[in-house]
Structure formats: C-alpha cells, structure tokens
C-alpha cells in the first residue's frame, strides 16, 4: 500500500510541475472539445495487438459565461453551440514497445448566433474533422504502465463553413503537434492512472491560429465490484486549459479558458475482447476569457474491440 501511495504522490507532483511550467499565454475557444482526448483508461495499451473503437461525445453549450461566473445571455451574440462528435479509432501495438493510434472524427455541429439586424440565424454542419495520428512508446517499464505519446493533428476538416466563426469551425486549418503520455498503477483491487496531452499549432491558416491546449486527468478505479461482468467504477479529475486564439481572423478577447471537471465513469468488460466505457464530466471550476458559451456537462460513450 505504501508503494501505491508513493506512486500516486509522484504522479500528482509531476502533474503539478508540468502545469506550473506551461507558459501563461497557453493558459488563457469556445469549443473545448480537446478535453475528450484524455480519460479512457482501457485505451491505455497493456499488450501487443490491434484495437478498434467507436466513441460518441456530446456537448451542448448554451450558458453564457464571463470570467469565473455566468453572465446575461444578451451580452453574447452567440446563443447555442450543440455538438456531437463521432470518432472511429484504430490502435495497433506492433510489440510491447511501439504502437500507433489513428482517430478519424466526424462532427455534427449546430450553431445559433445573432445577425447584424438583431435577429437569430442558425446552421448545422456535418463533416469529417481534423484527423489525429499518434505514435506510442510503452517500453519504459516492463508492464507497459508508462507511455509517451507524440503525433500530429492534420488539417483535414473544413475551416470556412457558412455562419461559423473561426473558433467554432469543424477544422482549424492548421497542422498541430500532439505530445503527451500516461502512467498507470495497481495495488490489489485498486488502481490509478494519470494522463496528459498538449496540442500546439505549427502554423496559421487564413489569418487564424488556435491557442495551445493542455488537458490532463487523474483517475482511480476499483476492479472487484462485479466479478461476472467486470464492472469497473472510475472517478476522475480532469483539468483543461486553452490559450487565446491569434491572427487577424481570430477573436483573442473571447477565446481561452481554464476548467476543472469531476467525472464519474464506468468501464464494462463485456467479454475478453469487448469493452464499453461511459462518463459524464461535470464542471467544478470554470474561467473563460471574455464572453463564451459553456456546457453544464459533457458526455462520452465508447465501444472498443480488441483483436
């Protein structure tokens, strides 16, 4: 038990140090979808082979926010951003040291805003978004409990759809660096994990460059609740940071945030090859730059199959 506590303290300390040394300019988008890039424990590889997964994320942003608290709806021209994210993913571990993961997302986004005449206008767009390609190195420890992740977000999604602002477009038009990793630990029936991902745009596109984002999670789970169906309850704390956008077509005064979520989650191992995961992410602390729409809760469901 002492070893478990020591590893947990080490993970918390490391996370705090990483957060401390992020430049202030990266801690300052109306969307916040990068928070879904961390949190699913079963996606952390523990063996070689191929894994496929389908994820659905949902976010309904309709509460107007300013700084640390809610604000009157008439102070924000935007009224609603409702998004469904469908992601098809493949993860292939060639051996116990090296692997690759590819995520192809499709976004279904509804957006309502105020027109120059004072009326309301809305649009709905469905499109392939920006594809993510990640390399994984898990050879640091013999049990693959430690991993480094590195890769790119590709500019495959559209960034000039009608009515949408640049910070609410399905694609950013930029190629971004992805850098992160995770650590897992186990002590009898209890386990824990920590995961982080940093995203940084290499370039700007058409006068727009998205702000850097940094997302991290710390979770604990209990593995002996229901032996028959292998139900694993999980509790996570998830922190999400987003820098203000830049460029002549950006809105730095109303982009950027810091958020902290609590996330009760559950993982069900339906069979040795099939996993089902779901969570709800409830904000504990929210701070935004300018006026932004935020969601009262975020939702995620994932179905995975291990070949």
**Tens digits of per-residue pLDDT, 213-224?**
999 999 999 988
CA dist 215 and 22 (Å) reads: 12
CATH code of residue 90: 2.40.128.130
For residues 47-55, give the mean pLDDT. 94
Q: Cα angle vertex 238, ends 64, 76, to 5°?
A: 10
Two tokens, residue 25: 């300019």
Least confident of 65-69, 166-170, 227-231: 227-231
Positive or negative, the CA dihedral 61, 66, 69, 72 is: negative
- Contact between residue 248 and residue 207 where contact means Cβ atoms under 8 Å apart: yes
pLDDT at 153 over 80: yes
23 pLDDT above the threshold of 90:
no
| Residue 216: strand pairing partners | 196, 239
Share of the chain above pLDDT 90, in %: 79
> Strands (DSSP E) along 171-272, which ranges?
176-187, 190-201, 213-222, 231-242, 257-269
For residue 8, pLDDT beyond 50:
no
Q: What is the pTM of this model?
A: 0.88
pLDDT > 70? residue 55: yes
Neighbours of 29 (CB within 10 A): 25
Segment 174-186 shows an average pLDDT of: 96
Token couple for 245: 């956008």
pLDDT, position 228: 64
Rounded CA-CA distance 116/127 in Å is: 27
How many independent structural domains does the chain possess? 1
pLDDT at 229: 64
> How confident is the prediction for the chain on average, in pLDDT?
89
Contact call for residues 139 and 112 (beta carbons, < 8 A): no
Nearest alpha-carbon partner for 283 in 294, 273, 293, 271: 294
The candidate with the shortest Cα–Cα distance to 212, out of 220, 202, 225, is 202
Q: Tell me what pLDDT residue 20 has.
A: 36
Percent of the chain whose predicted confidence (pLDDT) is above 70: 89
Q: Which domain holds residue 184?
A: 2-306
Q: Which long-range contacts (CB under 8 A, 24 or more apart) does 48-51 make?
A: 48/93, 48/94, 48/95, 48/96, 48/99, 49/92, 49/93, 49/306, 49/307, 50/90, 50/91, 50/92, 50/93, 50/306, 50/307, 51/90, 51/91, 51/92, 51/304, 51/305, 51/306, 51/307
What pLDDT does 67 receive?
97
Quick: pLDDT tens for 10-22: 444 444 333 333 3
Residue 304: what pLDDT? 94
């Amino acid at each position: 038990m002492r070893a478990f506590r020591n590893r947990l303290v080490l993970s918390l300390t490391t996370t705090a140090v990483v957060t401390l040394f992020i430049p202030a300019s990266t801690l300052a988008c109306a969307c916040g979808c990068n928070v879904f890039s961390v949190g699913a424990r079963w996606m952390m590889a523990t063996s070689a082979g191929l894994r496929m997964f389908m994820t659905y994320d949902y976010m309904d942003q309709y509460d107007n926010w300013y700084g640390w608290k809610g604000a009157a709806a008439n102070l924000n021209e935007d009224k609603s951003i409702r998004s469904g994210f469908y992601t098809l993913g493949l993860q292939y571990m060639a051996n116990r040291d090296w692997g690759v993961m590819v995520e192809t997302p499709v976004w279904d986004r509804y957006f309502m805003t105020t027109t120059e005449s004072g009326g309301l206008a809305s649009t709905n767009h469905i499109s392939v978004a920006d594809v993510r390609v990640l390399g994984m190195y898990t050879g640091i420890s013999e049990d693959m409990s430690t991993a480094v992740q590195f890769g790119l977000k590709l500019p495959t999604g559209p960034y000039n759809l009608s009515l949408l602002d640049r910070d609410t477009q399905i694609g950013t038009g930029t190629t971004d660096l992805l850098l992160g990793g995770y650590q897992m630990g186990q002590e009898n029936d209890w386990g824990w994990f920590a995961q982080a991902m940093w995203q940084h745009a290499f370039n700007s596109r058409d006068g727009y460059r998205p702000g850097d984002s940094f997302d991290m999670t710390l979770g604990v789970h209990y593995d002996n609740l229901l032996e028959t169906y292998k139900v694993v309850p999980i509790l996570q704390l998830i922190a999400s940071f987003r820098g203000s956008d830049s460029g002549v077509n950006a809105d730095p005064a109303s982009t950027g945030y810091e958020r902290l979520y609590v996330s009760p989650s559950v993982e069900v191992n339906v069979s040795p090859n099939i996993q089902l995961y779901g969570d709800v992410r409830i904000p504990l602390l929210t701070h935004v730059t300018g006026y932004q729409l935020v969601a009262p809760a975020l939702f995620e469901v994932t179905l995975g199959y291990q070949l």
